[in-house]
Copies of this chain bind each other. A is one copy, B any other.
Amino acid sequence: MPVIKKVINDPKQVAKESLEGLVLAYHGKVRILEDCSSIVRTDLPQGKVGLLVGGGSGHEPLFAGFVGENLADGSVNGNVFAAPSPDKILCATQAIDQGKGVLYLYGNYAGDNMNFDIAAELAADLDIETRTVRIWDDVASAPPERIEDRRGIAGDLFVIKVAGAAAASVSTLDDLFRITTKARDYTRSIGVALSPGSIPETGEYTFELGPDEIEIGMGLHGEQGVSRGKLIPADELVDSMIDRILEDMPLEQNDKVCVLINNLGASTMMELLIVNRRVMQRFSDDGIKVHDTLIGSFCTSQEMAGFSISLLKLDDELEKYYDTPADSFALKTR
């Protein structure tokens, strides 16, 4: 196996040091909560409903990169591929809460679910109201009848974007919960990997792939996808991915969607653009309107080569929130 090279200092400190680097790139718009692996906006509007996102590290710029104006109010960041612990979640919750409660928004994984749930109990003990939306956009990870078994992948970005805009304008946690739940329910993704990622502390790839193999239904961690396939031409691959999403969330003529083509790490922008070309051809053939397109490295899995396609279906309410200008380290929209 090839040696994994990384520009790091101490493999045990990567989560901490990268968070520090990110905060320094924000130039004062967020601050670190010491000993809590968390960051919070410095310009938190008074009395707003809170939005906390979080999960394991190693997916940079997710989650910390989406803390900012009309986005999340803070993020709590675990170690590489490990959900943050309850004490840290609680710490971030306390820093964010302005008396209106805090929405927990994160990817649906056993580890995150348990840790955030424990934190929610601890918060309740402190009279901080919380509600939870778990993102489960990955259509490959379970059939529709077990949608609650699906995991959260790059579709996180769409849900955070809508939730962030909503959190800036609604006045109750219940409203934020309702809108965020809708955004989650209108989001679908599917991913493929061409090569594995690694964990800095082991310095080992988390799985192996043959020279012409791809992993279909790839997530954001070292855990493998749903099945193996052969590397086929881009247009064919994209077609099969779009088909899979549309089976799950049928779209009709004149439906409006936002498209996210997310780089899992080491794919080239050239490939993502070729993917987008096909996605747009498909939707133009079907009369589906693409409202906005995001292409880039938003939710990554270390040096994994591969990408995912996510769709957010819009209704008038979601469109309004989606179109709210946002400003964070990793997402700026006008």
A interface, CB within 8 angstroms of B: 2-3, 5-9, 14, 17-22, 24-25, 27, 57-58, 60-61, 65, 194-195, 200, 211-212, 214, 231, 233-235, 237, 265-278, 280, 290, 292-293, 295-297, 300, 302-303, 305, 307, 325, 327, 329, 332-334
Contacts and interface: CB of A to CB of B under 8 A. Distances in A.
A234 B292 contact: no
Given A60-B268, A265-B266, A297-B296, A277 B20 contact: yes
A276 B25 contact: yes
How often does this chain occur in the complex, in copies? 2
A296 B296 CA distance: 9
A131 B178 CA distance: 57
A81 B328 CA distance: 33
A260 to B, nearest CB: 11
A273 B332 CA distance: 18
A268 B270 contact: no
Q: Quick one: which of A3, A57, A268 has the most chain B CB within 10 A?
A: A268
Contacts of A327: 334
B302 A7 contact: no
B7 A307 contact: yes
Contacts of A65: 269
